[in-house]
């Protein structure tokens, strides 16, 4: 009987997270698409640029792993980005089996411009989290979600994840300092 209940619990949890995860992802997807629209990119293409930017170059298999896409998807979209002049392919002398990508200046500029034009008001998922920020003083840590993703994708996924956020913080701080030097002022953004 305890075992029946554990199947029931399992089914209910699976359904709960499936419904919520689908709803969340559909909103993320819509927000992401409207954000990158001016640059004529799809989500996978922007994700590849994003990963290569924050990791300062990456192998196709890193892109596939961290971008949660098939290796062939990572490769094909990288190829398209190469044709548009946003990245270059290379091999490393010490690692001939993997293909690496590195952003060109044009590729880096896209990632930076997207950070510039980012408008919190247009991101419904962020807006959905704002009431929690108002109560707790910060955005939710979503630790349960992080723990589940960590258990599924492993420690190196989380390491790349953390690395990209550290780099993002640095990049934004640099941008901000540059803006302050220029004497720009920012409006209320959220």
Interactions with its own copies, residue window 157-186 (CB under 8 A): 157, 161, 164-165, 168-169, 172-173, 176, 179, 186
Taking residues 102 to 131 in sequence order and writing x for each that binds its own copies by CB under 8 A, - otherwise, the string is -------------x--x-x--xxxxxxxxx
- Residue 3 near its own copies by CB under 8 A: yes
- Spatial CA neighbour of 111 closest among 164, 149, 62: 164
Task: State the Cα–Cα distance between residues 53 and 60, nearest whole angstrom.
Answer: 13
Task: Figure out which of the listed residues 71, 106, 117, 148 binds its own copies, where binding follows CB under 8 A.
Answer: 148
Please state the length of the chain: 190
Q: What tokens does 80 get?
A: 């398209």
Q: What tokens does 38 get?
A: 């001016």
Burial class (CB in 10 A: 0-12, 13-18, 19+), 107: buried
Tell me the β-bridge partners of 89: 101
- Residue 33 near its own copies by CB under 8 A: no
Q: Please state the closest distance from residue 24 (CB atom) to its own copies, in A.
A: 5
Task: Figure out which of the listed residues 138, 155, 181, 182 binds its own copies, where binding follows CB under 8 A.
Answer: 138
Q: What is the residue whose two structure tokens read 């290796």?
A: 71
Range in contact with its own copies (rule: CB under 8 A) among 74-82, 90-98, 99-107, 152-160: 152-160
End-to-end CA distance of the chain: 51
Task: Figure out which of the listed residues 56, 146, 156, 159 binds its own copies, where binding follows CB under 8 A.
Answer: 146
- Residue 55 near its own copies by CB under 8 A: no
Q: Please state the closest distance from residue 188 (CB atom) to its own copies, in A.
A: 6
Residues binding its own copies: number (CB under 8 A): 72
- Restricting to residues 72-101, name those near its own copies by CB under 8 A: none
């Amino acid at each position: 009987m305890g075992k029946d209940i554990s199947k029931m619990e399992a089914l209910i949890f699976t359904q709960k997270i499936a419904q919520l995860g689908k709803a969340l992802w559909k909103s993320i997807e819509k927000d992401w698409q409207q954000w990158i629209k001016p640059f004529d990119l799809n989500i996978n293409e922007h994700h590849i640029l994003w990963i290569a930017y924050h990791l300062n170059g990456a192998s196709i298999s890193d892109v596939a792993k961290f971008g949660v896409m098939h290796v062939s998807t990572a490769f094909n979209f990288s190829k398209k980005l190469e044709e548009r002049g946003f990245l270059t392919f290379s091999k490393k002398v010490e690692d001939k089996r993997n293909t690496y990508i590195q952003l060109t200046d044009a590729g880096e500029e896209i990632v930076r411009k997207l950070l510039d034009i980012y408008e919190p008001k247009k991101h419904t998922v962020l807006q959905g989290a704002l009431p929690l920020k108002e109560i707790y003083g910060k955005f939710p840590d979503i630790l349960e979600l992080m723990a589940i993703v960590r258990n599924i994708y492993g420690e190196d996924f989380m390491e790349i994840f953390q690395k990209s956020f550290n780099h993002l913080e640095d990049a934004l701080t640099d941008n901000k300092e540059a803006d302050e030097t220029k004497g720009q002022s920012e409006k209320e953004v959220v």
